[in-house]
Amino acid sequence: MSESKATVNLANPHDLKFVSQDGHLPDAIILRKIKQGEVFLLCVDAQPVGYLRLEFLWSSMPYIALIYIQQVQRKHGYSRQLLAFVEKHLQGQGHTSLYSASQLDEPAPQAWHRHMGFVECGVINGINVGGIGEVFFRKLL
């Protein structure tokens, strides 16, 4: 059996259905983000299996708004490949750090961030539904 080939690229408008499946944002906003180069698509054997969407804090600091990898494609190192592509892309734009966050009651996403080289840089208490806080992470590029 041959090994799967994973690629990462900027998403394009044809990828809208796949990169909007989480339902967190209206399609019009995601389409705008695609056109602005803020959505990255992960494919395995030319099939989309994951994506990452960026936001910018204070319009200047890149922040991972969402990273998604299909359940059956997890634990293969694809999130590391996706993140590395995004980091290189951001470095090319002159950015020196990348931010992200997860809810305080989500130990698995927090462990992922630490495993990927992020360090905790702050907490906002009570920001989420039910009063759950958010822990923020930063990774130097």
Instruction: Render pLDDT for 21-79 as a digit per residue (tens, 0 to 9).
Output: 999 999 999 999 999 999 999 999 999 999 999 999 999 999 999 999 998 888 888 99
pLDDT for position 3? 65
79 and 128 inside one domain = no
Best CA proximity match to 60, nearest among 8, 95, 22: 95
107 and 89 inside one domain = no
100 and 90 inside one domain = no
141 and 78 inside one domain = no
Cα separation, 32 vs 47, whole angstroms: 23
30 and 1 inside one domain = yes
Domain range for 86: 1-95
Of the pLDDT bands very low, low, confident and very high (cuts 50, 70, 90), residue 113 is: very high
91 and 101 inside one domain = no
pLDDT for position 72? 82
The answer to whether residue 1 scores a pLDDT higher than 60 is no
2 and 25 inside one domain = yes
The answer to whether residue 125 scores a pLDDT higher than 70 is yes
Cα separation, 9 vs 85, whole angstroms: 8
Instruction: State how many domains the chain has.
Output: 2
90 and 114 inside one domain = no
12 and 71 inside one domain = yes
